[in-house]
Structure 1
């Protein structure tokens, strides 16, 4: 009986994380080390179509927000982390589209805090038209094994990340550096503050 219990439990837990049909799928998250110690976060997305009954056209998904959550260990013995978050909004994607979203962590931050390229924890939250999609396995680090730990991580990042607000930057706010390999950018909606 015990030998069957764990695989069934694992299957059930996996079904909680993966949803049957989400409009936007996170295919892969990758981290790259760039010149001058900058860290690039690359998020590969694909559009599955619009499952909403109110969709203007089932082949198009609009108002897509992609929020990145990162955590790097500051003090391992005290279990203290530095959290970084950033968000972009994609205007529209068409069914079958593959687009990439990029965020950058400045090299001087990485150098000062001796950050390795891959964070200790990460998660990519996707929402469509104000509705947060269910967590996807490819959107989170492997050391986030269940929804309780994920929710705790998001909560801590939101509450303790204020010191690092705006440090993790979307691609359109970065200039003057080697951006690394960049391809298939979507149309971003920018809401920059204007005086």
Structure 2
């Protein structure tokens, strides 16, 4: 299998513009003390850039979920919040909203903890595979049903540190997780 260049989806400038737009929208709607909850690990670059552009004081915390158990549709919380969200405005910060299953679980969990409101900021909104009728409140990019790498998104821990979003081929990556490394670094 020969080396094939990945397709660029969004360069650094396009990402910066999307983050600035999302931060502006959030700054208008979020109150001081809003809790931004980043879903680990893919959302961290988006969160970091977003927080620096917000015009409102926020608190940051993190949650992490296990991968879906095979044939169960179930996840479990593997990293929980350190702060209390009771009565507070919360914005879940996601890398990709896909089926909506993980997001639905997290939103339900935050509502059970009596958050005053729960909104969602997504870097990528990929509707093609949506199962639950959940739409993010803030969207960086509408995304096709493709596999993305870079800007926090990875394959086996690789490519998260790219400053751009590329579309990769999962079949090539399954065969060689470093397939794109010589071309991108």
TM-score computed with the length of structure 1 as normaliser: 0.28
Higher strand share: 1
Larger Rg: 1
TM-score computed with the length of structure 2 as normaliser: 0.29
Relative contact order, CA 8 A, sep 6+: which one is greater? 1
